[in-house]
Structure 1
Amino acid sequence: MKLLFVHQNTPGQYKHLAPYMASIPGNEVVFIGKAKRELTNVLSVVYAPSRKPAKETHHYLRGFEDQVLHGQAVARVGIDLQRRGFVPDVICAHPGWGEALFLKDVFPSAKLLAFCEFFYRSRGSDVGFDPAHELTIDAACRIRCKNATLLTSLDAADWGISPTEWQRSQHPDGLHSKISVVHDGVDTEVCRPDESATVTLPDGRVLSRADEVVTYIARNLEPYRGFPTFMRAAEEICRRRPNAQILVIGDDDVSYGARPTGAPNWRTKMLEEVRLDPARVHFLGRVPYTMFLRVVQVSRAHIYLTYPFVLSWSMLEAMACGALIIGSNTPPVTEVIEEGRNGLLVDFFDPKGVADRVDEALDAPHRFEAVRAAARRTVLERYDLRSVCLPAQVRLIEDLYAGRTPPLHPTVGVPVP
């Protein structure tokens, strides 16, 4: 089988799937992205848009023009691959940046499996959720136009895949019948509890499971991931618990939403509002993955807050490491966390409520051992990479290749090696 993977942030959601498919004798795998990254047995090809969107383009359409430019650049790479004799049987692509727009025009005989990560709504999901950020009619119209690329790409796709039921449900009703629900998968052999784990702070202090460690992790520290609520909760935690150590992992850039007004980033803005003990609240920035694992392995209370939006890998990875999740009572968190069984839920906008739940976790850590165990068990049963998710992803590809209609909820087959 010949397979083509397309994702601007190589390898993105295909980190495990692309190398696995390439490991099967007889398969030929090519990956198109904006950056060249080596994957075992995978040919990596780089593309670049020819220009940026024009400044005079209507601001509703500037994003669409950018996506068309990305799609055009990928199409040119596809044409070049075709000239060199590579015609894929199955294409796996993330349509969010426009890369999948013209793939079926270049390779009409290929089956296209689109990664349906998120469909934009001006009501009922991330936009308008936070009263601190007003939804204007101008923003609502712009958001509707953001779906132009997704709709065009999904119309051309033969099938889709979404990581969670809620993310699938955000897509138009007419598309639900061609989107399967399969998560990207968590490597539970890497993400696992370690009672002996320690974290060495920049000042040389060493923290372990014996310490009152509270953790918060996001790619970037921003409102979409509840950073303002966390910071207000951290102020209260510092006041209540003189022995607590709070570890924060995340960059000061913006992944979702906008930068704050009057400050270069959300960390600076929130530090102007709250009073924290700098000796006990540690902003670690972006860290290596091994450091991330040690942080969640020593955590007694891991705070995960999010708008109704894309579910972070870090929450499931923390659960696999046996962390006690204090999660926001928002979808798709509630698709995974059941209050009191495998985690704790709290109102997204309630800093005092977050601090109260942290008190529970730190006052009686042994009381939550069964909850921690249930958290890991949840990941093993529903999101394990080798026994659940990767076999289901492979089945979708094989079904498309064979001309079969894939199931909406693929059953678990033989675990992959």
Structure 2
Amino acid sequence: MRYLFVHQNFPGQFLHILRYLHRQGGHEIVFISEANEGALPGVRRVIYKPTRQPGDTTHPSLRELELALGRAEAVARTANTLRNNLGYVPDVIIGHHGWGELLNIGDVYPGVPVLGYFEFFYHADRYDVGFDPEFPARPELAAQVRLKNAVNLLALNLPGFGQTPTEFQRNTYPDWARRRIALLHEGVDLDLCKPDRQVARKPVEINGVVIAPQDKLVTFVSRDLEPYRGFHSFMRALPRILDERADARVILVGGDGVSYGTRPAAGTWREVMLQELGDRIDLSRVHFVGKVEYARFRVLLQRSDAHVYLTYPFVASWSLREAMATGCAIVGSRTAPVEEFVEDGRTGRLVSFLSPVEIADGVLELLEDRKLAQRLRKNARLKAEASLSLDDYLHNYDALIQDIVK
């Protein structure tokens, strides 16, 4: 078969399916994206570059839509070149609707089925907006949020098919749209992400930080350390955790940027929280290690004694799936995306996202009750084996593609 993938940041959500198709053999795979250094065997990269950027006169709420329309035009031009100069006509087109890149692709390839990734439908009155009282929604935000769905709504009215990885994400979409969106649970490599408690028997080094066997390790992972992923709530839980457990060490993985939400008035969220907490936390036992190479990340999860995952009612991170597959003892936020994965008292402990006291209670309980922690670890791994298998995900993905093509 001939495949055409589209995502501005290669390979986006499509790394595993690209590898799977290459292993199958016999396919021709082209990927249209903006320039980056990524490369995969068997995948031909074709680069596009938007020529239009929002100007000073563009309404601020329309800038995201204008960027999306610029990407759609650039991708269509690139696809036209593929078709007219190289004769490339795919059997199926797969991409992410969030960036607008698929909006015009049907004009280039009429009749070719499109499978688009629908990630999240924004609401001004629920989910992430207004969830955290520390950051109240501005009066003008409702209109801006409605406009954020412009690409979503355009995509939903195009011919084609949709997919999304969780019930929570599908349920953010209007009732009339959900029948267009297949639920395709994403999986992790259970052979790579697996428990290994032998790791705790020897010193472990993560980006220069050495954790001794006698240390109790608390871990926190986010692409960026920001309020959307509960960084502020976790930091406020640390003074009590450190005071009550002299053997506790904390490693936080994540950058200083902002993936979701807004930037602080000055500096980074890490700097803001360190200034707020001052000498209430012992920085000799709290380690900010930045981004971590994937092999070391897996070792970090294997070594973790209590893993904290918090999020607004928003898209769940891949790290939650990986933590479950690794058999982490998880303290998660009692928010819908996490509750779809973690059952309180069975596969983890659920606590209030907004309560540092509950977060600290959850961590301390797992550090002190080894039998509970062991039971939660075992059940988290069993849950991953039952519903988070990468092999099952790829088989189901391939079956969905074949159904669409037929």
TM-score normalised according to structure 2 size: 0.95
User: Aligned partners of 1:298 and 1:213: how far apart in 2?
Assistant: 7
> Aligned-pair RMSD on alpha carbons?
1.3
Specify every segment of 5 or more residues in structure 2 that has no aligned partner in the other structure, as ranges. none
Between 1:155-164 and 1:322-331, the stretch displaced more is 155-164
1:308–1:332 Cα contact (<8 Å) kept: yes
For residue 413 of structure 1, what is the aligned residue in structure 2? none
2:187–2:321 Cα contact (<8 Å) kept: no
For residue 110 of structure 2, what is the aligned residue in structure 1? 108
1:36–1:46 Cα contact (<8 Å) kept: no
* Structure 1 residue 205: Cα displacement: 3.0
| Residues 389-411 of structure 1, C-alpha deviations (whole Å, 9 max, x = no match) | 11111111000111xxxxxxxxx
For residue 9 of structure 2, what is the aligned residue in structure 1? 9
Between 1:112-121 and 1:155-164, the stretch displaced more is 155-164
Identical amino acids, percent of aligned pairs? 43
Which of 250, 262, 267 is the equivalent residue of 1:264?
267
For residue 67 of structure 1, what is the aligned residue in structure 2? 68
For residue 21 of structure 2, what is the aligned residue in structure 1? 21
* Structure 1 residue 52: Cα displacement: 1.8
* Structure 1 residue 379: Cα displacement: 1.1
Which of 374, 380, 384 is the equivalent residue of 1:379?
384
| Residues 64-103 of structure 1, C-alpha deviations (whole Å, 9 max, x = no match) | 0011011111111111111211111111110111111111
1:36–1:45 Cα contact (<8 Å) kept: no
What pairs up with 1:387-402 in 2 under 5 angstroms? 388-402=392-406
* CA distance 1:116–1:207, change in 2 (3 Å): farther
Which of 117, 120, 124 is the equivalent residue of 2:119?
117
1:342–1:372 Cα contact (<8 Å) kept: yes
User: Aligned partners of 1:160 and 1:207: how far apart in 2?
Assistant: 47
1:2–1:89 Cα contact (<8 Å) kept: yes
User: Aligned partners of 2:275 and 2:285: how far apart in 1?
Assistant: 17
For residue 412 of structure 1, what is the aligned residue in structure 2? none
* Structure 1 residue 19: Cα displacement: 2.3
For residue 329 of structure 2, what is the aligned residue in structure 1? 324
Amino acid of the residue matched to residue 14 of structure 1? F
User: Aligned partners of 2:63 and 2:362: how far apart in 1?
Assistant: 44
User: Aligned partners of 1:300 and 1:25: how far apart in 2?
Assistant: 42
Query: Are residues 1:248 and 2:252 paired?
Result: yes
* Structure 1 residue 365: Cα displacement: 1.9
User: Aligned partners of 1:205 and 1:147: how far apart in 2?
Assistant: 46
1:342–1:371 Cα contact (<8 Å) kept: yes
Which of 135, 138, 143 is the equivalent residue of 1:136?
138
Q: Secondary structure at the match of 2:140?
A: helix
User: Aligned partners of 2:50 and 2:150: how far apart in 1?
Assistant: 19
Equivalent pairs, count: 399
1:300–1:365 Cα contact (<8 Å) kept: no
For residue 214 of structure 1, what is the aligned residue in structure 2? 218
1:23–1:41 Cα contact (<8 Å) kept: no
Which of 316, 337, 341 is the equivalent residue of 1:336?
341
* Structure 1 residue 203: Cα displacement: 5.6
For residue 414 of structure 1, what is the aligned residue in structure 2? none
* Structure 1 residue 243: Cα displacement: 0.9
Which of 344, 353, 367 is the equivalent residue of 2:372?
367
1:8–1:33 Cα contact (<8 Å) kept: yes
User: Aligned partners of 2:107 and 2:161: how far apart in 1?
Assistant: 16
1:114–1:161 Cα contact (<8 Å) kept: yes
2:367–2:373 Cα contact (<8 Å) kept: no
Specify every segment of 5 or more residues in structure 1 that has no aligned partner in the other structure, as ranges. 403-417
1:224–1:307 Cα contact (<8 Å) kept: yes
Which of 209, 230, 242 is the equivalent residue of 1:226?
230
What pairs up with 1:105-184 in 2 under 5 angstroms? 105-184=107-186
| Residues 137-183 of structure 1, C-alpha deviations (whole Å, 9 max, x = no match) | 31110110111111112221411111100100001111111111112
User: Aligned partners of 1:364 and 1:173: how far apart in 2?
Assistant: 44
